[in-house]
A and B are shown apart, each in its own frame.
Chain A
């Protein structure tokens, strides 16, 4: 489940960075700073996902749990910010 989630998140963020963000930026140039922040968060989350995928192959549950908690913190913050900034413009 953990690896499936990592792959799913990676694909989702790749779609946003490659399709959604450029198209929104074209229609709403004022979003430039927001998109830059979201892209930086995508890069940070990609690093966390990579670290988690490496940890899953090691036997220590404690370190995996810490990595999952860190991912939850970062991702929750990222999703909240993205919804707050983009959804009013998509609706």
Chain B
């Protein structure tokens, strides 16, 4: 149970970070 939730959390962090990187690149 907690392992699945952890994987989802990690994936969520990567999705958010990548969106952030995209915004930074687009505005640079």
**Could you list which residues of chain A lie within 8 angstroms of chain B, going by C-beta atoms?**
1-2, 5, 8-9, 12, 61, 64-65, 68-69, 71-72, 75-76, 79, 82-83, 86-88, 90-91
The residues in B between 1 and 28 inclusive whose CB is less than 8 angstroms from any CB of A are: 1, 3-5, 7-8, 10-11, 14-15, 17-22, 24-26, 28
**Are A79 and B24 in contact, CB atoms less than 8 angstroms apart?**
no
Q: Which of A61, A68, A86 contacts B21 (CB 8 A)?
A: A68
Q: Which residues of A contact B1 (CB under 8 A)?
A: 90-91
Q: Which residues of B contact A9 (CB under 8 A)?
A: 14
CA–CA, A8 and B3, complex, Å: 19
Q: How far is the CB of A87 from chain B (nearest CB, A)?
A: 4
Q: Which 3 A-B pairs have the closest CB atoms?
A: A90-B4, A91-B4, A87-B4
Q: How far is the CB of A60 from chain B (nearest CB, A)?
A: 11
Q: Which residues of A contact B22 (CB under 8 A)?
A: 65, 68-69, 72
